[in-house]
């Protein structure tokens, strides 16, 4: 049985890093002593690792950074859980492609290792990172990611109450362009929200704010914490399948 906790970000508005999710983290890591942290998406891996180490120490967990391990694959083999942090998803994906952690994490999580992904780490759990908000500052080999869930996540989705309707409309427009070329649901997670997937058979929205589900051919649907999203686990994603439009008649003459 595996657990996935895919978070929009580390913060809920007005609270400290991961403060809003400590009970859920305690449950996720209940049977774990050693968590391997993957900080490659961040610009300062040492500082990021130390901050996360202090937070998980409050739960009695030992956290080590993959970037400081002489052999990241051996470090993963010795860990009980993996925590993939946020930052730039392109930088993260290129790093785990180069050091072999991408297929290794996939195997361990599918075999039952708990997975915590924050922001870029949530993108990495998807089939691809195509729905990240990040600039492609580096060139990964491909955009294929861990494929732990069969749909896409868009972190940092704007909250209409806080960010305004125009921010939602702008993000929806960008994600609608993705749906023009790909027939895959996109779950937009607002700050402070996460998706909890258990044993690849149950999925629920958790956290303090909400989310929005965008699907080709349907109106976007607003979601609240507690909503059951298990149906998304039965998605059959289809990438690079553009919407077929009727040919426009040529003007006479």
Is the Cβ–Cβ distance between 214 and 176 less than 8 Å?
yes
Cβ neighbors of 75 (< 8 A, separation 6 or more) are: 36, 64, 66, 69
Q: Report the alpha-carbon distance of residue 120 to residue 42 in Å, rounded.
A: 9
Catalytic residue list contains 199:
no
DSSP code, position 19: G
Catalytic residue list contains 119:
yes
Q: Which of 3, 134, 159, 172 is catalytic?
A: 134
The dihedral sign for the CA sequence 143, 46, 57, 209: negative
Is the Cβ–Cβ distance between 105 and 149 less than 8 Å?
no
> What is the chain's alpha carbon radius of gyration, rounded to the nearest angstrom?
18
Catalytic residue list contains 156:
yes
163-166: long-range pairs with CB below 8 Å, 24+:
none
Q: Report the alpha-carbon distance of residue 161 to residue 165 in Å, rounded.
A: 8
C-alpha pair distances (Å), 157 with each of 84, 90, 132, 154, 163: 19, 18, 10, 6, 10
Q: Which of 8, 10, 12, 119 is catalytic?
A: 119
Q: Which of 8, 20, 67, 156 is catalytic?
A: 156
Residue 157, classed as helix, strand or coil, is strand
Q: Assign 3-class secondary structure to 74-87.
A: HHHHHCCEEEECCC
Catalytic amino acids? 119, 134, 156
């Amino acid at each position: 049985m595996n657990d996935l906790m895919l978070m929009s970000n580390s913060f809920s508005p007005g609270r400290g890093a991961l403060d809003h999710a400590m009970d859920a983290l305690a449950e996720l890591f209940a049977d774990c002593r050693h968590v391997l942290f993957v900080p490659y998406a961040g610009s300062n891996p040492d500082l990021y690792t130390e901050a996360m180490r202090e937070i998980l120490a409050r739960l009695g967990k030992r956290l080590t950074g993959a970037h400081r391990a002489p052999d990241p694959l051996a470090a993963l083999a010795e860990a009980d859980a993996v925590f993939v942090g946020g930052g730039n998803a392109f930088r993260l994906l290129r790093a785990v492609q180069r050091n072999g952690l991408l297929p290794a994490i996939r195997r361990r999580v599918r075999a039952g290792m708990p997975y915590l992904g924050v922001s870029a780490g949530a993108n990495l759990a998807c089939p691809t990172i195509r729905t990240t908000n990040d600039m492609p500052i580096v060139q990964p080999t491909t955009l294929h990611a861990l494929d732990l869930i069969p749909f896409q996540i868009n972190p940092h989705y704007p909250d209409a109450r806080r960010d305004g309707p125009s921010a939602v409309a702008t993000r929806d427009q960008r994600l609608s362009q993705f749906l023009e070329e790909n027939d895959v649901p996109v779950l937009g997670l607002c700050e402070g929200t996460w998706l909890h997937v258990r044993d690849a058979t149950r999925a629920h929205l958790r956290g303090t704010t909400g989310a929005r589900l965008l699907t080709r051919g349907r109106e976007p649907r607003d979601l609240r914490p507690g909503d059951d999203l298990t149906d998304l686990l039965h998605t059959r994603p289809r990438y690079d399948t553009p919407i077929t439009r009727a040919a426009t008649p040529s003007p006479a003459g």
